Chain A
Amino acid sequence: MTPSPVVALSGITKRFPGIVANDAIDLEVYAGEIHALLGENGAGKTTLMKILYGLYRPDAGHICIDGQAVMLRSPQDAIRLGLGMAFQQFSLIPSLTVAENIALAVPSSGLRLRLHDIAVRLGTLSQRYGLPIDPWTPVWRLSVGEQQRVELLKLLYRQARILILDEPTSVLTPLEARGFLRAIQAMATSGLAVILISHKMDEVLAVAHRITVLRRGRAVVTVPRSEATAADLARAMIGRDLRPPPTRPLSAPGEVVLSVRDVSVREQPWQPALHGISFDLRQGEILGIAGVAGNGQRELAEVLVGLRRVTAGSMSLQGRDVTHATPREMIRLGVGYIPEDRLGSGLIPQASILDNLLLKEYQHPPFAYGPFLRYRVACAQASRLLSAFQVTAPSLHTLVGTLSGGSQQRLLLAREFSTQPILLIAAHPTRGLDAGAIEHVQHALLEQRQRGCAILLISEDLEELVALCDRIAVMYAGTISGIVSAAGADPATLGALMTGDRALCRNSLAEMPR
């Protein structure tokens, strides 16, 4: 390690209305080092890196690059200084080839587009760091993992010396993630500085040289890898010992509530289809859906609540055929839905708490009275729900967009549970929440299970799935590649199923309960 750091942040503070996202954070990163930024969602990791990349301006503090105090007004400034950032959301143009995408990212000299030169240099780079890619393939034909590679090559092509990677493995399969981490190690070995944002303990422990833990906007601790243990890091991350996951009381699953048979959905551009999905879901049972994002989980959820049209196969709810039911019919039949994009479809940020709570019941008495709405009745009911589900809010007329993520999710649960659904589809219900809110949501789900609700839980968090579910189905490329009992599920089997590798896990799947 060189004696002076390539990046030195000191006293970086950034306030957003209502919160301090970064509170006097110091951070030093050296050339040849993989420096992990570990922390829960909302701890301030991404904010800090956006400051370093010139996207946000700090309210206080200094940034030094190569020992020089710098003033970053925009990402252009940062790029000029050798910084490169890869975001969770890819910025590639699907219809263009890899080489063309790279060409877009580098300032061109002259009028001619020298795609061939770019391809040659790309070849050298991808060989040096172990990031194989065909420069002439259009990006839309690449897998998510390959697109991630292109993003990384883009930074390397621009000769970035300091790479900021924001949760790069969150969209990758375990196997792809391993390859990706190996490439990062190669980059560090060749002298680049890598800042790896992550909330995954195991990958941080596997590749990082040093680890800085952020919690609620503060840098809690920086430790070299050799002195770090998983337990210490977890404690630093959440500020207390990890509680054991909620225990799942035994219950004998009852009658079949939802029966799905060979359901398929035709492919649409940029969207994976569903092919021949079959499963049964019983009363008082939680069926987990595991899998890498984008393998059909969202489509499955939308099919089950009537938002997406089934092109083949059938579904029945308590013996009634619901293959072509509309969302409104499904709601009336007692299907609750916690969608993946809480603020996009589940809740309306510009609307009041009251209007949000009314969303699914406004057309029924006692709220509806002929063509009119009885707001007084609705207010009374809404207040009851708020206290029953411990949602803290200034008033019923507070706009939902101003609530914290945890309160928003509580509100959504309150609305979906208030009607006592017989089937609940929960897509990533704990994503982006802090530890306390996660516990609340998990307990609420288990309570519903005890009540006899059948629950389909879509999650990327394997630990959560194992803790909460009775059975776990794994989705890969629009199919269910296997269903295992949660009691006997081990990460290796699930991981193999997630990559669709049936051969790898055939032994462990001797019997696959449906």
Chain B
Amino acid sequence: MAATTEVRDEAQMIAKILAGDSQLFHELIRPYERRVYVMALSFLHNEADAEDAAQEAFLKAFRNLSSFRGEAKFGTWLVSITLNEARTRIRHRDTIKMESLDEPPDDQGHTLPALLRDWKEIPSEALERKEIRLLLQDAITALPLIYREVFQLRDIEQLSVNEAAAALGISIAAVKVRLHRARMMLQKKLAPELKQVAPKRRWAWS
């Protein structure tokens, strides 16, 4: 069968599912599997918990599909279900220190970036190396929750500022401020680390 470039009409798919074609739900969620899992993982820091939370989020989406209003995109709605699921689990998890959903009180100031004289581009091929992937994972998951969730939605899931604000239930201004801090925290941590580990071989001319 030739590859088709059909446009997904999610509103129509949802209408059909609600009308009884439940099997279509499998297709509806396929493009979101990764997004939901990664989001759960960045909260829960544990693959098994993240997988369980992701499954639960999809099940809740199925059970509550009739309450989905077409105002938001299905993907955004799914994001907010996943956020709720992950947050609930964090709150209920008593084995680890509870993370505050509020702004850390000692973090009112600015995050100063790591100062560098020069920067040599690190190409995406560097991600073939596990140590580089781990550096990035660790840096993201080490962000305080309120910054991590904004970073996750904006820079990993590529949601718009408005969509991220809606999913998180915070103002657009708060999204921008938190995103900026998250990015600066990552630059501060990662720029020196990447500079150290990346240039094992020479990229292009230098």
On whether the two chains bind one another, the answer is: no
